[in-house]
Structure formats: structure tokens, C-alpha cells
Amino acid sequence: MNMRRIFSKTWFQIIVAGTILGVVLILAEDYFSDDSKAYNGPVQAEKGKAFVTSIKLSEDIVDFGKSKEGDTLSREIIVTNSGNDPLFIYKSNGSCDCIAARANKELIAPGDTTLLMVYFDTKGRKGPQLRKIELTCNTDPAEVFITLKTDVE
């Protein structure tokens, strides 16, 4: 096929124009971006004024031992704000629908503690089980993981 015929096709011109526009927008992003803002999880904050703290868990691996199929296992985990700024747990996600965690949605002052309840529903599970809960907090890194283990009989 003749190159002149390809360049004269409307679809080809649209693809070339879109590619050029995309490259220009990507390169221009740095020029127009506001460097005084930093993304810190689900909130926008000014650099240097973002509250980033640290967290300490009473246990990050919860071993329930042996359990019976159909039981709902639970454990209280003590969460301590070990940093100098307020701690906030934005959300908690389980690695499957059989895992849940309930956290206090209020700020935790530096040095203070709160309770985090973790639940494991063994219904429909058999054998060794290993699941994770991900807590998203204003910490660095923002994700904190808790491992839940049990052997379902």
C-alpha cells in the first residue's frame, strides 16, 4: 500500500493527532502541576503539614489454632499510636469475604490506644487457612497488614 494513501486516511490522521495530543498533555502535566500539594491517602494535604504517624499492633499475626467449620473466630487487637501526630484508620479490607475488621473511626492521639476487632468466619472452609487484613492509615507506608491463621476441622 502506498504511504501517501495511508497518510490521507481520516482514521490514520485521528490516531496520529491523538497520539501527539497525549504526549503533549503528559509532558505538560509537570509544568502545570501544583507541587505544594501531596496525595496522602484519601485526603489532600499541604507538603510539610500532612499528619504521618506510626502504628504499633499488639499482634500482627493472629493464630486461632484449631477451629471447627462454621465457627466465627474473633480477637481484640490493641492498636497504639506510636508516633507524634494523630492516627486515623481510614479503612480495613479482608483478603476474602470471610474476614472482617472493625476499627474505631476516630482520631487516636499520640501515645493512645484503641481496640480493633478482627473476625474470621470459617463457614465453608476446611484445612489450614491463611488470610490477611489490610488497614489503610495515615502512616508510612499507608498499608498495615494483619495475618489470620487457623486450621479448620
Residue 144, CA atoms < 13 Å, CB-side half-sphere = 26
d(CA 2, CA 57): 68
Beta pairing, strands 113-121 & 72-81: antiparallel
Percent of the chain with pLDDT over 90: 49
3-state percent helix, strand, coil for the chain, nearest multiple of 5: 20, 45, 35
**Domain ranges in the chain?**
3-33, 55-152
Residues 26-74 have pLDDT tens digits of 888 766 665 555 444 555 555 566 678 999 999 999 999 999 999 999 9
Q: Give the C-alpha separation, 87 to 40, whole Å.
A: 13
143 band by pLDDT with thresholds 50, 70 and 90: very high
Task: Give the closest residue to 55 by CA, choosing from 75, 84, 27, 32.
Answer: 84
- Per the CATH hierarchy, to which homologous superfamily does domain 55-152 belong? Immunoglobulins (2.60.40.10)
| Predicted confidence band of residue 115 (pLDDT cuts 50, 70, 90) | very high
Interacting residues of 9 by C-beta distance below 8 A, sequence separation 6+: none
Residue position matching grid coordinates 504517624: 53
